[in-house]
Amino acid sequence: MNRRTILVVDDDSSVRMLLRRLLESQGWGVREVVNGSQAIESCAREHPDLVILDLAMPAMNGLQAGRRISQTNPALPMLLVSVEQVTRQLAKAAWDVGFQGAVTKSKGTEVIQAVEAIFRGKTFFAVDESLAV
């Protein structure tokens, strides 16, 4: 079986550790970096099968890093994760940048469902409709 590799980008080491454990428990390989600049470099050098980007990072947020990654590698799937619930506005912004999904990172089942959907060529935006304006 071809083991897929996921690049996890988050400035919080405890979140990276939790995501690593969650993803590795499903059989996926995981690489980690701490910011958007490292993500851009790692994508160019290591060619992961999927990038999971945290929305809120210092210097360059997940949307900004995703935009740069999609400019150089438009076929690379990306998943945006946020500590906040995903609103329609955030989902649209992520879609416009080139993300295939957006989920709340504390919801492990959503993260797994999103990764599985993206690997099947689908999108997965877990929008909290109660936050609609």
- Look up the domain containing 102 and give its range: 5-131
Q: pLDDT band at residue 131, thresholds of 50, 70 and 90?
A: low
**Residue whose pair of structure tokens reads 């689908």 in the numeric block:** 122
Contacts of 8 (CB under 8 A, 6+ apart): 16, 19, 20, 23, 30, 31, 32, 33, 52
Q: How far is CA 126 from CA 5, 26, 30, 38, in A?
A: 23, 20, 22, 27
pLDDT at 130 over 60: yes
List pLDDT tens digits, range 22-39: 999 999 999 999 999 999
CATH number at residue 38: 3.40.50.2300
pTM: 0.94
- The 10s digit of each residue's pLDDT in 48-65 is 999 999 999 988 999 999
Count up the domains in the chain and report the number: 1
Q: How does pLDDT run across 64-100, given as a tens digit for each residue?
A: 999 999 999 999 999 999 988 899 999 999 999 999 9
Band the pLDDT of 1: cuts 50, 70, 90: very low
pLDDT band at 132 (very low <50, low <70, confident <90, very high): low
Q: Has residue 2 got a pLDDT over 90?
A: no
Query: Among 18-27, 93-102, 103-112, whose mean pLDDT is lowest?
Result: 103-112
